[in-house]
Structure 1
Amino acid sequence: MSTTEVFLVAMAIIFTVPWLIWRLGRTDHYAPLVVVQIITGILLGPGVLGKWFPAYYDFVFTPSVIQLLNGIAWWSVMLFVMIAGVELDLKKAWEHRRESGITAGLALGAPLLLGCAAAAVMLGLDGWMGAQAMSWQFVLGIGMACAVTALPILILLMEKLDILRQPLGQRILRYASLDDIAIWGVLALILMDWGRIGKQFAFLIAFVALGLAFRRLMAWLPERDRWYMSLIWLAVCGLGADWAGLHYMVGAFLAGAVMDAHWFDQDKLDQLRHHVLLVMMPVFFLSTGLRTNWAVGGTAVFAAAALLLVASVVGKLIGVRLAGYVLRWSPGEASIIGWLLQTKALIMIIFANILLDKQIITNAAFTALLLMAVASTMLTVPMVKPLMHRAAQRLQAGLLSR
């Protein structure tokens, strides 16, 4: 078969298998389609399909096909990260800066500390830290991976729970938005290459200057032209960041962060995110799955994933509970917010991909982080739904007592 034919076989597998599992298995309650796609990517990778059926794996996922898939994956994830940057609402966060600052700070800080402690344990063992990493980069990178909140997936889950446009949902978006900024800032620090500091400094200066000019241009353009101009801006920012040694996804986030959401029709922006998830991101999940590795042993990888999951979930719940105590939230509110903010999925996987690309972590550590992200996301809806039901009952009882 030609490369084109094998590529189309791979694309048919990528879109058919997860959809069938999701639809026939009726997994939507605990595993939305996006989670099933991530799991399927792992199953189709070298750790499972490549090990059990090496002939089929070698036939479909040839180097030329993988190269083609990677190109689609790079652009899709850049679009996705840019949209996440556009959706940051810093004005709302500033209007509620005390509440948002306390909650976002504790929600980020507690899992970061526990994640760093887990990374310190892994640091004492072979097979986890990448060849180009210094110890502080590995520890801080793993710690921040445990602190990440997946803002785009959080939006999808809150839509599913019917709270996105409610006051609680908007509060949660503010907290997650502030944490997103901190996460990408820390990532830039981790990736800082002192041998290429001149390039990185030049990129930041150019980004600020061009960003100001870009904002003026976008404010002047009609909306139909803003969509096209945003794609040009995305490619330029990704190129500049990668040239400077940061990473093209850091550039993609910066490209979106300097854009204002009100420049675009909100319904169209929601549709764009939906269509990127539907049409392109499954290829990214597959390319991510192709990077999974069990070189240090399956048991060790699962043990590391469990350790990271505990650090992530417990840290997030502790941090948000502390915020709820300081801000005197109503009973049960902190648990709902904490479980929603611990959602990992895409942003954590993107974060881990960057750490792997820069050899901060090994393939085995990447696999453990990937498993942690999947488990974290699958826990969200089953844990939040009963909590919301109990909160509604308490509210109803309080109204009746009056």
Structure 2
Amino acid sequence: MGDANPAEWRVTVAIGGIGLLLVVVTLFVTLGRRLRQPAVVGEMTAGIVLGPSVLGLVSGDLPETLFPLSVRPYLHVVSQIGVLLFMFVIGWEFDRALFATHRRRAALVWVISLLVPMSLGVILALLLYRHSALAAPDGTPLLGFVVFIGVAMSITAFPVLARIIVDRGLQGHTIGPLALALAAADDVLAWCALAVSVALVTFSGIAGYLSVVGWTLLYLAVLVTVVRPLAKWAARRLPSTAAPYVGAVLAGAVFLSAFATSAIGIHAIFGAFCLGLMMPRESDAGVLRQAIVPLRQIGLVLMPVFFIVTGLSVDLTTLSGPALLLTVVIVVVACVGKLGGVGLSARLSGMSARESIALGLLMNTRGLTELVVLNVGFSLGLLTVQLFSAMVVMALFTTAMTTPLIGAVLRGGAVARALPSVGKDRVERPTSALK
């Protein structure tokens, strides 16, 4: 039926595939909600089920039938549009006041809670690189691989975490805003470290790396000196009736910024996130705040395509024997790094044992952010299929365990109330763009 015009037929199949996956993802998200899981758990599970791990076990190679190899580049483009808009919104809604409100306690907890999982990740990466053929493909640069695994092990999913905090009613307690502050700071540093890792892999030699650094500094300078003042001017001067046109310009700016950072060599998502950071905040946002609404919704609608593209690359059937052991080790290291690092530093800062454990569980949530990072590494050739699949399992496990365990920890006793200055509105605002 598609022989007359193969290109048009591939587009048709891609459209049909997107329609199917949106329906399937919705079913899994609904099921996850009944199990009191955040939407991202259902979306991650749907992606794995539609890939070779589950659907591929049925005779006839259904993943290839539903999502042929010739169609997947189209799906990848659509998924990247969703990810870029999502990262832009996350950058825009990053609340610097969260960290400032808890800066004394947050500073101590953040440093230790970041160093411990990152250090464990670096040690694990060194061992895997030297002693396991399952980890890094041939020719992978050691430094880039080590930095990447260190970053991947230290990730906390800020958007998913914020949704869990609101769902559990923790926005009025000390651990809710503190966890958000720590996760937000984690995200900013993680994206910067990821950019370094990408640059180390993309360019060989000191000259190439210095070129990336130079162009990155120029890019950031343009954002601060040109884009940010222009955005503030537009927010003050443009009427609310211009919101639809401003939304189109913002979307164009997101893609151009992503193109710029990709051309520099630090990946497209870095450009979308940084542009979001440059946008005016609440009181200065004006018409821009109205224009972001359709961008947020488009990003949320297209994000399920990202999970399917990820799921098509995950093959759990390869996780047997040594690969299964590798998966267990990664999950253990990830949990020990975050739970141990956060819990220990929280206790040192004066929090109770129950609050420290609860904060560690919240910070152990990887979710969507981890998948975005892993896809970057996989696309760069830093991860084998086995290691990529094992890391995705870790992301799913650490996210799914948070809600039931946090309920069990807090059920036995009360936790300290936050100061009145940290109110419900401040914590709930970022969840408008959440999974």
Q: Same fold (TM over 0.5)?
A: yes
Alpha-carbon spacing, 1:136–1:28, altered in 2? closer, same or farther (3 Å)? farther
What does residue 314 of structure 1 align with?
336
Alpha-carbon offset, residue 284 of structure 1:
0.5
Q: Which amino acid aligns with 1:204?
A: L
Alpha-carbon offset, residue 393 of structure 1:
8.3
What does residue 133 of structure 1 align with?
140
Matched, 1:9 2:29: no
Distance in 1 (CA, whole Å) between partners of 2:34 and 2:332 is: 24
Which structure 1 residue ranges, 5 or more long, are not aligned? 396-402
Alpha-carbon offset, residue 346 of structure 1:
0.6
Which of 220, 225, 232 is the matching residue for 1:212?
Answer: 225
Q: Which amino acid aligns with 1:291?
A: S
What does residue 93 of structure 1 align with?
99
Pairing 1:352-367 to 2, within 5 Å after superposition: 352-367=374-389
Alpha-carbon offset, residue 370 of structure 1:
0.6
Q: Report Cα offsets for 1:224-243 as digits up to 9, x if no partner.
A: 36644432321121001111
Maintained 8 Å contact 1:132/1:359: no
Aligned-CA RMSD value: 2.7
Maintained 8 Å contact 1:317/1:338: yes
Matched, 1:61 2:67: yes
Alpha-carbon offset, residue 177 of structure 1:
1.1
Pairing 1:133-152 to 2, within 5 Å after superposition: 133-152=140-159
Q: Report Cα offsets for 1:338-367 as digits up to 9, x if no partner.
A: 101110011111111111111122222111
Pairing 1:113-132 to 2, within 5 Å after superposition: 113-123=119-129, 124-132=131-139
SS at match of 2:215: helix
TM-score normalized with structure 2 length: 0.82
Distance in 2 (CA, whole Å) between partners of 1:148 and 1:48 is: 27
Q: Report Cα offsets for 1:354-383 as digits up to 9, x if no partner.
A: 111111222221111111000010000000
Alpha-carbon offset, residue 167 of structure 1:
4.7
What does residue 348 of structure 1 align with?
370
SS at match of 2:71: helix
Matched, 1:230 2:264: no
Distance in 2 (CA, whole Å) between partners of 1:129 and 1:70 is: 23
Maintained 8 Å contact 2:155/2:369: yes
What does residue 42 of structure 2 align with?
36
Distance in 2 (CA, whole Å) between partners of 1:229 and 1:8 is: 26
Bigger mean CA deviation after superposition, 171-180 or 92-101: 92-101
Which of 375, 378, 387 is the matching residue for 2:397?
Answer: 375
Alpha-carbon offset, residue 3 of structure 1:
3.0
Maintained 8 Å contact 1:118/1:307: no
What does residue 234 of structure 2 align with?
221
Matched, 1:258 2:278: yes
SS at match of 1:328: coil
Pairing 1:92-111 to 2, within 5 Å after superposition: 92-111=98-117
What does residue 361 of structure 2 align with?
339
Which of 179, 193, 201 is the matching residue for 2:214?
Answer: 201
Bigger mean CA deviation after superposition, 74-83 or 250-259: 250-259
Bigger mean CA deviation after superposition, 175-184 or 273-282: 273-282
Maintained 8 Å contact 2:247/2:295: no
SS at match of 1:149: coil
Q: Which amino acid aligns with 1:177?
A: A
Q: Which amino acid aligns with 1:378?
A: A
Distance in 2 (CA, whole Å) between partners of 1:178 and 1:372 is: 22
Distance in 2 (CA, whole Å) between partners of 1:158 and 1:137 is: 34
Q: Report Cα offsets for 1:176-222 as digits up to 9, x if no partner.
A: 11111211121122122245332552243133124321111111113
Matched, 1:74 2:59: no
TM-score normalized with structure 1 length: 0.88
Alpha-carbon spacing, 1:329–1:341, altered in 2? closer, same or farther (3 Å)? same
SS at match of 2:313: coil
Maintained 8 Å contact 1:200/1:246: no
Maintained 8 Å contact 1:316/1:341: yes
Q: Which amino acid aligns with 2:171?
A: L
Alpha-carbon offset, residue 120 of structure 1:
3.1
Bigger mean CA deviation after superposition, 51-60 or 240-249: 51-60
Bigger mean CA deviation after superposition, 265-274 or 169-178: 265-274
Maintained 8 Å contact 2:232/2:285: no
Distance in 2 (CA, whole Å) between partners of 1:285 and 1:166 is: 32
Maintained 8 Å contact 1:73/1:281: yes
Bigger mean CA deviation after superposition, 257-266 or 32-41: 257-266
Identity fraction in percent: 25
Distance in 2 (CA, whole Å) between partners of 1:108 and 1:7 is: 40
Maintained 8 Å contact 2:366/2:395: yes
Pairing 1:166-315 to 2, within 5 Å after superposition: 166-192=173-199, 193-195=203-205, 196-197=208-209, 198-222=211-235, 224=243, 227-262=247-282, 263-264=284-285, 275-276=297-298, 278-293=300-315, 297-315=319-337
Bigger mean CA deviation after superposition, 371-380 or 286-295: 286-295
Maintained 8 Å contact 1:320/1:337: yes
Matched, 1:327 2:352: no
SS at match of 1:298: coil
Q: Which amino acid aligns with 1:109?
A: L
Q: Report Cα offsets for 1:98-137 as digits up to 9, x if no partner.
A: 3221111112111112222332332211021134522232
Distance in 2 (CA, whole Å) between partners of 1:384 and 1:184 is: 27
SS at match of 1:392: coil
Q: Which amino acid aligns with 1:298?
A: S
SS at match of 1:174: helix
Q: Which amino acid aligns with 2:409?
A: L
Alpha-carbon offset, residue 248 of structure 1:
0.6
Alpha-carbon offset, residue 47 of structure 1:
3.6
Alpha-carbon spacing, 1:281–1:132, altered in 2? closer, same or farther (3 Å)? farther
Alpha-carbon spacing, 1:166–1:319, altered in 2? closer, same or farther (3 Å)? same
SS at match of 1:127: coil
Q: Which amino acid aligns with 2:198?
A: L
Q: Which amino acid aligns with 1:217?
A: L
Q: Which amino acid aligns with 1:252?
A: A
